[in-house]
Chain A
């Protein structure tokens, strides 16, 4: 019998992944690594591992392999943390793997973007089990209701990597991948202080998150966790505002699921205008203060 184990880092992550789990149409269990697994997302069992801190990938994947028996599908929401661990888990289980699933054709056929989103590939799974990372925006929010059986599980994994230090920078702004509004800036933002006041300021005025291009991150204008694109975060807000962003294929790969894309660029021929729903040809240093003044925020 086919069955899915949905692996979540915390309850919010579980809720995000449950949209996919429900669409897959197989019975599923939800495993939350930290916090208490929600019992109303349609899982048969809501399993809580009760970890205080998630260990490095070698120990975590080894622990997960201990509870993977009996599942034909193992999935998590696509993120750096899940790609790190689930691909290792796939290696331990000798499994098939599909990264960044955006559509389900059947429980063994999935679609995913490749070459920075330039092509959509249909991938057929030829082995059991299969490990999946999924883009939640493609599957919507789950229906809530019912009552899963709540259980706690112990993950007995071991590894030799040792965490020496960790720095999490998250601030007051919403999470980039879940924000309703994202304001992103590129290379012309000059320095970290300018980025923070101009891009961060507009993001705050709109109750949104701040994002950045690779060029902005590479030149130290924005921290790495704000990078959006092929090799950064995938965002799917109601409103994406890109200011001083040229619109490279790699950047666009991360924002295609946005409902409305607004581009502010002083070059009328910037490629971003080909993919923006609304484009304003303007200097961002004039346009953004004017927007904020007229919004009164």
Chain B
């Protein structure tokens, strides 16, 4: 994949989606999961996508994460038209540019936390020693350095989710996508995970997350609401530049408190 020139990255939005349509099924059974979504997300933004169940949030997220392709419409990621990429290039994009966090079943079974976090680096061809160092740093960042040897079934739900966050950020991707990352967590674990996400955004990473909870949405700089595959509202809660609202409000206390 040919990376976009540096000058372009500085100005081009991370996400530029035009009239995304996704339909499932045919004939009478056709479902318009997305009915023409236009979305532009600038570098460093923190977007929460909300909407009732079945409104197309996950569908949109999967397309943004290059896991799925839209039926029609264009999607530019970092200025590159994803529709024109082949399989191999797509796997490179997923590896280098995107960090994905799912609601559940996030971790590779029977693989310890360290190996888990090393995985994207292994796929990127990073050498073993370097990989270990960076994976350890990522685990330390999410406060799980002492759980490096634990397998998924030996970790709590919140810890698993934090390992997933570490894995998503270890390659330093331009964009962090999270589909209800706290959906299965209690309020304490939710705070921990969100604290980490806030800090990542503070350090300049673009974040898009799906949530059902208003408390989670309060962490975002921008809230988008979907209804029946269409964007019905798009509110800005904080400027793109500057810290996320939760960190600005609590002057960092929440973050510190959040990460144990």
The answer to whether A and B belong to the same complex is no
